Structure 1
Amino acid sequence: MIYKLLKSFKEYGIYVTIRKILHKLTGKPLMKKIHKIDLSKLPIMPKFEDIVSADYINNRYKKPSKIDKEILNIAWVSPPIGKGGGGHTTISRFVKYLQSHGHRITFYIYDNNTIHQTSKEAYKILLQSYHIDVSVEELENFKNQDVVFATSWETAYAVFNLKDQKLHKFYFVQDFEPMFYGVGSRYKLAEATYKFGFYGITAGKWLTKKLKSYGMESDYFDFGADIEIYQPTAPIKKKKKIAFYARAHTERRGFELGIMALQIFKERYPDYDIEFFGQDMSDYNIPFEFINRGILGKEELATIYQDSVACLLLSLTNVSLLPLELLASGCVPVMNSGENNTTVLGEIDDIAYAEAYPISLANKLCEIVEKTNINDYASEISKKYNDFSWEKSYKKVEQIIIREVINEK
């Protein structure tokens, strides 16, 4: 008996053991431990009442009639805004263009269950980090808009529940967000948003193809690069350096795969520096020496790209914005192969694709640094990719909005 109690204590702890003793003494059934679930505190979730209200099963959103206007009031419903985010960087590009063509822009902040942000806090970040001056309002004050964009899966629930029957609802889709999670509740809730009936504008063709399988209409824009920032103005002189887009807290960036590949590379080429950027890595115990650069501005990134022979860049969902910037800088992107990357970028010969496996990625890095005349090769690449302007994409997105919203004259 004592042996059984000791074993129970070791395996299950004191509370289970006490319940077993009480069961033996009283003959009553074991009490079950009650796990209280507070739906309001689950991380990165829409409000529970918004999920319940978003009844796309019985009341799928239907696009309203087109309107007779030239200048539109365009709202963007955003989750709380952080500094240096790729998603908001891309949104800010299109917002600036739409503003320059006279359209009136308002941001509305939708709190998820992790972060609360006031409109004043959001305005300050948009102005300082993304250099856009727009009206920012609380979502409960939503009014007088012609067009509204959901910008993430949580915000899609809030946009679905906006009651204005004349409102044209769009979904600005920059990634396949269900894949941000394991297959579970959040995966299915994110996936459901593609069935709401909104018109999608997606970052590249891969997402348009994905959304079509849900019956979602959409169009896409191509990626660009700020050539005036990234293209070298002086002759290229590469250093013995490899860059790594290190985002440990972003699962889709394959951080662990990258670390293993770089460790293999470093063992083969110990004289090469490895420079991390994208996140502050000072709290991480990396198994080789590296340079920690953290989150950087475009000009600082351009210097890293121009100095580095190659950049390890992993994208396991939609492709990153970085490959075209790297090519314009004369830096070879070493990337995982897959439709998510090639469908958007096309079969660009100067991107070094490899299987998403440490040995394959390390081998590809080694192939690049072993090239003769690295500086000449880098110069050729930089000159070849000098026309990746964002301007065509800006125009296309405005044309999509006008096509879907405004009556043709």
Structure 2
Amino acid sequence: MSTPQKPVDKALKTFAHLSSRSVYVLQKEGLKGFYARTKRKILPPKVLQAEWSKTYASEAFMLAQWLDCTPEQIERSKQQMERYAEGLQIQSINWYLPHFEHAYYGGVYTILRFASYFAQHYQVQSNFIILGSPESPAAEEYAKRVSSVFPALASGKAVVIRSDNDLASVPHTDACVATFWSTAYYVLKNQNTKRKFYFLQDFEPMFYPAGSSSAQVEATYRFGFYALTNTISLKELYEEQFDGKASFFNPCVDTSIFHPPAQRDWGGEHRPYTVFFYARPNFFRNGFELGSIALRKLKEQLGQRVRILSAGQNWNPADYGLEGVVENLGLLSYQQTAELYRTCDVGLAMMFTKHPSYLPFEFMASGCMVVSNVNSATKWLLKDGENCLLTNATASCIADTIIRGLQDHELRKRISDQAAGMIQTQFSQWDAQMEKIYQAMCSDMR
């Protein structure tokens, strides 16, 4: 008797059979049409839909069909950039962004900060081209999310695109900027511009397992865009590994918002210690699983002498076995976040890609001692025993490092004071960094 096919195996075979048709659907109907047709054809039972949607293969197939380009398109784009390589006073920019829920998210906030500076200092008109999904809101909602945080961008147009056909609705501008790898495929095909840039804030191939999707990300680094990189390490990587051209900026902190408290009790005799956990269950690069086990160990050892808080994403600790261990405060405003950090003794922020994230900068500025993982790509910033405590990436090592930082009051005070001073002197001048990038964008690129 033959072995019955597993549902996912059957779905994969059906998916492969439909692949050529899927290309047509993506081109003509966009992601919404592609999702609808795929579900109807190969995923009718609810159980099968749930099983398939959790696989890496389902996402990788979708990305391979959706984000594609030809050698001719790459060459045409490079030739277009060569025609406008001389100095150019940029007065209009299309910023291509992925979907975002709110403008306070670190990477999006930085992009909009630059756009706002360009508008206020050089009267640059910025438009926002959003890569939509079936669930995406209308363009007007995205425009509202932008202008509510950065009023200087209120005149900008928002456009939601879901397929190549939608590029016809994108305004002509002096420059366009890809801000995430998926947006680079649309910037590549946009011919209504003079210059193309890549706003790199992390090494995005590491967001995926080594395979199809990570290869698609790497391919965008060879499109020939001029990179604007968040940190010098990303600039060096883009130039050395991908033969690109780049300018970098240093991440900074608004020290009028993120600053140490006027007074701090460095002990823990009369109150519980407070630890902030940078916990994002859906982002693998932040080591949520390791951090969770480490903090269970921490709670087992210190009990009521420690309070562990999290914020920035809505998730239920009970779903991850963290009920009674972590209190998740959900989404907070920028000001509320800064106020929270000032109450914390230690901030645990792990990052396993090429960028340290903004959390260590904000912790340091707020007088909260950083605990993070050893990472060769972030050693330019994180100095063990000087401005943070670094730990090997095991649950017990993480827990022990946090306990050391909590209980050694003199060590924590010394490190926190040095870190806050470093932020104030080296990483607090956003205007200088944004001015540097605008001048680079307008420079002679021959």
CA contact (8 A) 1:46 1:113 kept: no
Partner of 2:387: 350
Query: 2:78 is aligned with what amino acid?
Result: Y
* Equivalent residue number for residue 310 of structure 1: 346
Q: Shift of the alpha carbon at 1:171?
A: 0.6
Cα distance in 1, alignment partners of residues 138 and 71 from structure 2: 24
Higher CA-based Rg: 1
Q: How does 1:140-179 map to 2 (within 5 A)?
A: 140-164=168-192, 167-179=194-206
Equivalenced residue count is 382
Q: 1:327 to 1:337 in 2, by over 3 A?
A: same
Percent identical pairs in the alignment equals 26
More helix by share: 2
TM-score normalised to the size of structure 1? 0.83
What is the alpha-carbon distance in structure 1 between the residues aligned to residue 381 and residue 77 of structure 2? 30
CA distance in structure 2 between the partners assigned to 1:79 and 1:381 by the alignment: 33
Asked whether 1:401 is paired with 2:417, we answer no
- The CA deviation at 1:329 is 0.9
Partner of 1:231: 259
Which ranges in structure 2 are unaligned for 5 or more consecutive residues?
24-33, 36-57, 160-166, 267-271
Query: 1:373-392 to 2 correspondence within 5 Å?
Result: 373=410, 376-377=413-414, 378-379=416-417, 381-387=419-425, 388-389=427-428, 390-392=430-432
TM-score, length-normalised on structure 2?
0.77
Task: Note the aligned Cα RMSD (angstroms).
Answer: 3.0
Retained in 2: the 8 A contact 1:87–1:174?
yes
1:82-121 alignment, distance < 5 Å: 82-83=101-102, 84-113=104-133, 115-121=135-141
The 1:140–1:362 alpha-carbon spacing in structure 2 relative to 1, beyond 3 Å, is: same
1:6-405 pair list within 5 angstroms: 8=3, 34-35=14-15, 36-37=18-19, 38=22, 40-41=34-35, 43=59, 48=65, 51-53=68-70, 55=72, 58-59=75-76, 61-62=78-79, 63=81, 64-66=83-85, 70=89, 72-83=91-102, 84-113=104-133, 115-129=135-149, 131=151, 132-138=153-159, 139-164=167-192, 167-212=194-239, 213-237=241-265, 240-270=273-303, 271-282=305-316, 284-287=319-322, 288-317=324-353, 318-343=355-380, 349-373=386-410, 376-377=413-414, 378-379=416-417, 381-387=419-425, 388-389=427-428, 390-404=430-444
Secondary structure of the residue aligned to 2:332 is coil
> 2:42 aligns to what?
none
Q: Give deviations 1:270-302, integer Å, cap 9, x for gaps.
A: 120000112122262334422111121222222
Query: What's the secondary structure of 2:224's corresponding residue?
Result: coil
State how far apart, in whole Å, the 2-side matches of 1:247 and 1:119 are: 27
CA contact (8 A) 1:77 1:149 kept: yes
Q: CA deviation at 1:117?
A: 4.3
**Which whole-Å CA distance do the structure 2 matches of 1:160 and 1:115 have between them?**
25
Q: CA deviation at 1:356?
A: 1.9
Q: Alpha-carbon deviation of 1:333?
A: 0.9
Change in Cα spacing, 1:386 to 1:86, as seen in structure 2 (3 Å) is: same
How far residue 311 of structure 1 moved from its aligned partner, in angstroms, is 0.7
Moved more, 279-288 or 32-41: 32-41
Partners of 2:173 and 2:74 lie apart in 1 by: 26
Determine if contact 2:290/2:394 at 8 Å carries over to the other structure: yes
Tell me, in whole angstroms, the C-alpha distance in 2 between the residues paired with 1:348 and 1:354.
11
Aligned AA for 1:150? A
Q: Hey, what's the Cα distance between the residues in 2 that align with 1:320 and 1:228? A: 20
